[in-house]
Homo-oligomer: A and B are copies of this chain.
Amino acid sequence: MSAARQVVAIGNAIVDVLSHAKDSFLEQEGLAKGSMNLIDANRADELYKRTGPAVEASGGSAANTAVGIASLGGSSAFVGKVCDDQLGEVFTHDIRAAGVTFDSAPITGGPPTARSLILITPDGHRTMNTMLGACVELGPEDVDAALIESAQVTYLEGYLWDKPKAKDAFVKAAGIAHDANRRVSLTLSDSFCVDRHRDSFRTLIDSKVDILFGNEHELTALFEVDSLPEAIDRVRGECEIIVITRSDKGSLVLTGNEVHEVAAEPVDKVVDSTGAGDLYAAGFLFGFTEGRHVAECARLGSIAAAEVISHIGPRPQTFLAELIRK
């Protein structure tokens, strides 16, 4: 039996390759700003050749959330797949050094550790180009039942739905969590991801998700409606808690018939929005598993998100536990 944890996160294990790019470069490459694009090894090589100097930092949506929870003083674990190559070593070091339990066995040979070429435009927005690599090997056999049972919340990223084996891992984990009377949380990840998996996501949310995270674009895409109020009408009551993030407009939390609106934490300048949603989820889930009121959870999410968008890279550079004490 594993030690009890607040959150177990399951997602793609990715090293981010972060570089600055002009808007015209996105246009030339046919990239929609703010999107996550899945690319193969050839496209990754081609795009990398054309991008400017970069820095590498461990990333991955759910992995960033697990790190955020540890940085807030909480306990978390991560399940995801790397290759036993140099970038896999980097990913493994960084998540463990952040205090997150990470015991998923790396693959030997096969596709390399996943990387995402992230283009940061002058407005601080990020556009991601992800080569999933070793992540495609994540499957149900990587889901440790004792670990899932021990955690108050099992948190899943929608991106997992892009690969059949990862989807099976996702469904298995959700089943184990519910059988143990634990909560299941999902982030919709990206509006294009929602477009790819709309029907599956709707069924999943209806039947298996207790705490749902999504932004305006993802929720309107999910229900194919034109406005946030319409999306709210459709999603209300589907899950115990629905959290809607709205960038600088703050966030909304729907519980039963209640709606809580929480302002965004002000920042001087958005340097790089990579990890904003991931760290918001970290703050929220940390608060939730500490028994805080949902409005306070949203506030913690806003503070954690504000830290991560103030610098380059998808993970906190300060101890968030000290930040929230202030």
Residues from chain B with a CB closer than 8 A to the CB of A315 are 53
A250 to B87 alpha-carbon distance, docked (Å): 39
Which residues of chain B are within 8 angstroms of A48 by Cβ–Cβ distance? 93
Please report the total number of A residues contacting B with Cβ < 8 Å.
Answer: 26
Residues of chain B contacted by A97 (CB below 8 angstroms) = 19, 51-54
Does A57 reach chain B (CB closer than 8 Å)? Answer: yes
Name A313's contact: one of B20, B55, B58, B94 (CB within 8 Å).
B55
A98 on the B face (CB < 8 A) = yes
Report if A112 contacts B (CB, 8 A): yes
B-facing residues in A309-326 (Cβ within 8 Å) = 313, 315, 317
- Assembled-state Cα–Cα distance A112/B85 (Å): 11
Instruction: Please report which residues of chain A, range 47-96, place their CB below 8 angstroms from some CB of chain B when the two chains form the complex.
Output: 48-49, 51-58, 67, 85-87, 90, 93-95
Question: Nearest chain B CB to A70's CB is how many angstroms away?
Answer: 10
Identify which of B20, B86, B313 contacts A112 (C-beta below 8 A). Answer: B86
* Contact string against B for A residues 216-228, beta-carbon threshold 8 Å, 1 for contact and 0 otherwise: 0000000000000
- How far is it, in angstroms, between the C-alpha of A112 and the C-alpha of B112 when the chains are bound? 16
- Which listed residue, B57, B67, B87, B313, touches A86 by the CB 8 Å rule? B87
> Which residues of chain B are within 8 angstroms of A90 by Cβ–Cβ distance?
54, 56
Cβ–Cβ contact A55 & B53, under 8 A: no
* Identical subunits present: 2
Most chain B beta carbons < 10 A, residue from A56, A95, A112, A315 = A56
CB distance from A245 to the nearest CB of B (A): 24
Q: For A318, give the chain B residue with the smallest CB separation.
A: B20
Instruction: Give the contacting residue for A53; candidates B52, B58, B87; CB below 8 A.
Output: B58
Q: How far is the CB of A109 from chain B (nearest CB, A)?
A: 15
Knowing A48-B93, A93-B48 are in contact, say whether A98-B53 is a contact too (CB < 8 A).
yes
Please provide the chain A residues from 105 to 125 with a CB less than 8 Å away from any CB of chain B in the complex. 112
- Which of A52, A58, A86, A313 has the most C-beta atoms of chain B within 10 angstroms of its own C-beta? A86
A264 to B54, CA, bound (A): 28
Inter-chain contact B53/A56, CB cutoff 8 Å: no
List the B residue with the shortest CB-CB distance to A19: B97
The residue that A55 contacts in the complex, of B19, B55, B87, with Cβ under 8 A, is: B55
Residues of B within 8 A of A85 (CB): 86
Q: Which residues on B sit within 8 Å (CB–CB) of A95?
A: 53
**Contact: A67 with B94, CB < 8 Å?**
no
26 CB < 8 A contacts A-B: A19-B97, A20-B317, A48-B93, A49-B93, A51-B97, A52-B97, A52-B98, A53-B58, A53-B67, A53-B93, A53-B94, A53-B95, A53-B97, A53-B98, A54-B90, A54-B94, A54-B97, A55-B55, A55-B56, A55-B57, A56-B56, A56-B57, A85-B86, A86-B86, A86-B87, A86-B112
Seen from chain A, the residues whose Cβ lies within 8 Å of a Cβ on chain B are: 19-20, 48-49, 51-58, 67, 85-87, 90, 93-95, 97-98, 112, 313, 315, 317
- Contacts A53-B58, A54-B94 known; list 6 others, CB within 8 Å: A19-B97, A49-B93, A53-B95, A53-B97, A55-B56, A55-B57
